[in-house]
Structure 1
Amino acid sequence: MKTVRKIGWILIGVFGIILVAALIVKQVLKPEYSGEKYMPELQSDVTVYYDEYGIPHIEAGSEKDAMRALGYVHAQDRLWQMELLRRVAVGGLSEIFGKDLLSTDRFFLSLGIDDASAKTVRELDPGSEVAVLSQAYLDGINQFIEEGPTPVEFLLTGLEKKPYKMTDIYNAVGYMAFSFAMAHKTDPLLTIIRDSLGIEYLDDLEISSSPNTVWIRNYKGEEVSSEAAVISATQKALSALPVPQFIGSNSWVIGPEKTRNGKVIFANDPHIGFAQPSVWYEAHIRTPGYEKYGYHLAGVPMPLLGHDRNLAYGFTMFENDDVDFFYETLNPEDSTQYMTPDGWKKVEMVTKTIKVKDEKDVEFTYHKTERGPILNGIANQINGKRPISMDWIYTKAQNKVMEALYGISHARNIEEFQSALPDIHAPGLNTMYGDAEGNVAWWASAQLYQLGDSTNTKLVMDGSKGEDRKVRFLSFSENPQAINPPWNYVYSANNQPDSIAGMLYPGYYLPENRAKRIVTLLDARDDWDAEAVRKMINDDVSAINPGIVTELAKLVNIKDLNEQQALVLDHLSKWNGSYAVDNAEAVVFHRWIYFFLKDTFEDELGEELFAQFIATHFHKRLIAPMAAKSNSVWWDDVRTTDTVETKKDMVQSSFLQAFESLRDDLGNDISEWTWGRLHTLEHGHPIGQIALLRSFFNVGPFPVPGSREVINNMAFQYDGASDFSVTAGPSTRRVIDFSDVENSMSILPTGQSGNPFSRHYEDQAEMFNKGEFRKMMMNPDEIRVNAKSILTFKASNK
Structure 2
Amino acid sequence: MRLLFRWLMRIAAGLVVLVVAVIALVYFLASQSLPDYDQTVKVDGLAAPVEIVRDNANVPHIFGESDPDVFFGLGYAHAQDRLWQMTVLRRTVQGRLSEIFGQRTVTVDKLLRRLDLYRLALQSVEVQDDYTKAALRAYADGVNARLAEINDEALGRGAPEMFLFNIPVAPWQPGDSLAIIKLMGLQLSGHLEEEVLRARTSLMLDDPARLSDILPDVPGSGIAALPEYAALFPGAQRFASAAPMPDDPLSPFPRRGLAGASNAWTAAPSRSASGGTLLANDPHLGFTAPAIWYLARLELANGGVIGASIPGVPAIMAGRSDRLGWGLTSSYLDDQDLYIEKLNPENPEEYLTPDGYKKFDSRPSIIDIKDAPPITLTLRWTENGPVLPGTFYGLETITPPGHVVSLSWTVLSPRDTSMSASMALMISDDVQGAIQAAERFIAPSQNLSLADRSTIAMKTIGAMPKRDARHHSQGRMPSQGWLPENRWQGRMPYSSNPEFVSPAGGLLGNTNNKIIDRPFPEHVSFVWGDTQRVHRWEKLMQDREVHTRDSFIEAQLDTISFTARSLLPLIGADLWFTGESAPEGTPERQRQIALALLAEWNGEMNEYMPEPLIYAAWLRALQKRLIADDLGPLAEEFKHVEPLFIERVYRDIDGASAWCDVKQSAPVETCTDMARLALNDALVWISERHGTALESLRWGDAHQATHDHQVLGEVPLLRYFMNIRQSTSGGDNTLQRGRSSGEDPDPFLNVHGAGYRGVYDFADPDSSVFITSTGQSGHFLSRYYDDQAQLWRRGEYIPMSLDTDLARAAAVGVTQLVPR
Alignment TM-score, normalising by the size of structure 2 = 0.90
Contact 1:201 1:633 (C-alpha < 8 Å) held by counterparts: no
CA distance in 2, matches of 1:218, 1:636: 37
> Match for residue 611 of structure 2?
585
Contact 2:190 2:259 (C-alpha < 8 Å) held by counterparts: no
Of residues 229-238 and 91-100 in structure 1, the stretch that sits farther from structure 2 once superposed is 229-238
Distance apart, 1:620 and its partner CA = 5.3
> Match for residue 669 of structure 2?
645
CA distance in 1, matches of 2:299, 2:556: 29
> Match for residue 330 of structure 2?
317
> Which of 371, 377, 383 lines up with 1:370 in the alignment?
383
Aligned to 1:474, the other structure's residue is in SS state coil
> Which of 257, 277, 280 lines up with 2:270 in the alignment?
257
Of residues 247-256 and 161-170 in structure 1, the stretch that sits farther from structure 2 once superposed is 161-170
Contact 1:366 1:378 (C-alpha < 8 Å) held by counterparts: no
Contact 1:457 1:506 (C-alpha < 8 Å) held by counterparts: no
> Which of 432, 440, 446 lines up with 2:462 in the alignment?
446
The aligned amino acid for 2:260 is I
Aligned to 1:328, the other structure's residue is in SS state strand
Coordinate RMSD, CA, aligned: 2.8
Distance apart, 1:772 and its partner CA = 0.8
Distance apart, 1:202 and its partner CA = 4.7
Distance apart, 1:238 and its partner CA = 7.5
Distance apart, 1:494 and its partner CA = 0.4
Is 1:302 aligned to residue 315 of structure 2? yes
Aligned to 1:656, the other structure's residue is in SS state helix
Tell me: CA distance 1:425–1:582, structure 2 relative to 1, closer, same or farther (3 Å): same
Distance apart, 1:444 and its partner CA = 0.8
The aligned amino acid for 2:548 is D
Tell me: CA distance 1:241–1:230, structure 2 relative to 1, closer, same or farther (3 Å): farther
Is 1:628 aligned to residue 654 of structure 2? no
Contact 1:184 1:231 (C-alpha < 8 Å) held by counterparts: no
> Match for residue 388 of structure 1?
405
> Which of 773, 777, 784 lines up with 1:753 in the alignment?
777
The aligned amino acid for 1:49 is V
> Match for residue 28 of structure 2?
24
CA distance in 2, matches of 1:723, 1:344: 48
> Which of 540, 545, 558 lines up with 2:559 in the alignment?
540
> Which of 231, 234, 245 lines up with 1:235 in the alignment?
245
The aligned amino acid for 2:137 is Q
> Match for residue 731 of structure 2?
707
> Match for residue 176 of structure 1?
184
String of CA shifts for 1:327-360, please: whole Å, max 9, x gaps: 1222223322222233222223232111111112
Alignment TM-score, normalising by the size of structure 1 = 0.92
Tell me: CA distance 1:65–1:298, structure 2 relative to 1, closer, same or farther (3 Å): same
> Match for residue 427 of structure 1?
444
Contact 2:226 2:538 (C-alpha < 8 Å) held by counterparts: no
Contact 1:313 1:432 (C-alpha < 8 Å) held by counterparts: yes
> Match for residue 142 of structure 1?
144
CA distance in 1, matches of 2:682, 2:126: 57
> Match for residue 530 of structure 2?
511
Unaligned runs of 5+ in 2: 228-234
Tell me: CA distance 1:112–1:232, structure 2 relative to 1, closer, same or farther (3 Å): farther
Contact 2:613 2:698 (C-alpha < 8 Å) held by counterparts: yes
CA distance in 2, matches of 1:509, 1:452: 21
The aligned amino acid for 2:597 is H
Is 1:403 aligned to residue 420 of structure 2? yes
Tell me: CA distance 1:123–1:401, structure 2 relative to 1, closer, same or farther (3 Å): closer
> Match for residue 74 of structure 1?
78
CA distance in 1, matches of 2:149, 2:116: 34
Contact 1:213 1:512 (C-alpha < 8 Å) held by counterparts: no
Tell me: CA distance 1:84–1:228, structure 2 relative to 1, closer, same or farther (3 Å): farther
Of residues 187-196 and 47-56 in structure 1, the stretch that sits farther from structure 2 once superposed is 187-196
String of CA shifts for 1:355-399, please: whole Å, max 9, x gaps: 111112111124322112222356696997442221112214731
Contact 1:331 1:338 (C-alpha < 8 Å) held by counterparts: yes
Identity among equivalent pairs (%): 24
Contact 1:226 1:387 (C-alpha < 8 Å) held by counterparts: no
Contact 2:176 2:312 (C-alpha < 8 Å) held by counterparts: yes
CA distance in 2, matches of 1:666, 1:576: 22
Distance apart, 1:259 and its partner CA = 1.3
Distance apart, 1:691 and its partner CA = 1.6
Aligned to 1:688, the other structure's residue is in SS state coil
String of CA shifts for 1:98-127, please: whole Å, max 9, x gaps: 1121111111111121231132135556xx
> Which of 360, 370, 374 lines up with 1:357 in the alignment?
370
Contact 1:665 1:722 (C-alpha < 8 Å) held by counterparts: no
The aligned amino acid for 1:596 is L
Contact 2:122 2:176 (C-alpha < 8 Å) held by counterparts: no
The aligned amino acid for 1:286 is E
CA distance in 2, matches of 1:227, 1:785: 67
Aligned to 1:735, the other structure's residue is in SS state strand
> Match for residue 299 of structure 2?
286
Distance apart, 1:197 and its partner CA = 2.3
Unaligned runs of 5+ in 1: 220-224
Distance apart, 1:504 and its partner CA = 3.6
> Match for residue 672 of structure 1?
696
Contact 2:44 2:145 (C-alpha < 8 Å) held by counterparts: no
Aligned to 2:373, the other structure's residue is in SS state coil
Tell me: CA distance 1:710–1:228, structure 2 relative to 1, closer, same or farther (3 Å): farther
CA distance in 2, matches of 1:64, 1:549: 56
Contact 1:348 1:367 (C-alpha < 8 Å) held by counterparts: yes
Distance apart, 1:671 and its partner CA = 0.9
The aligned amino acid for 2:245 is Q
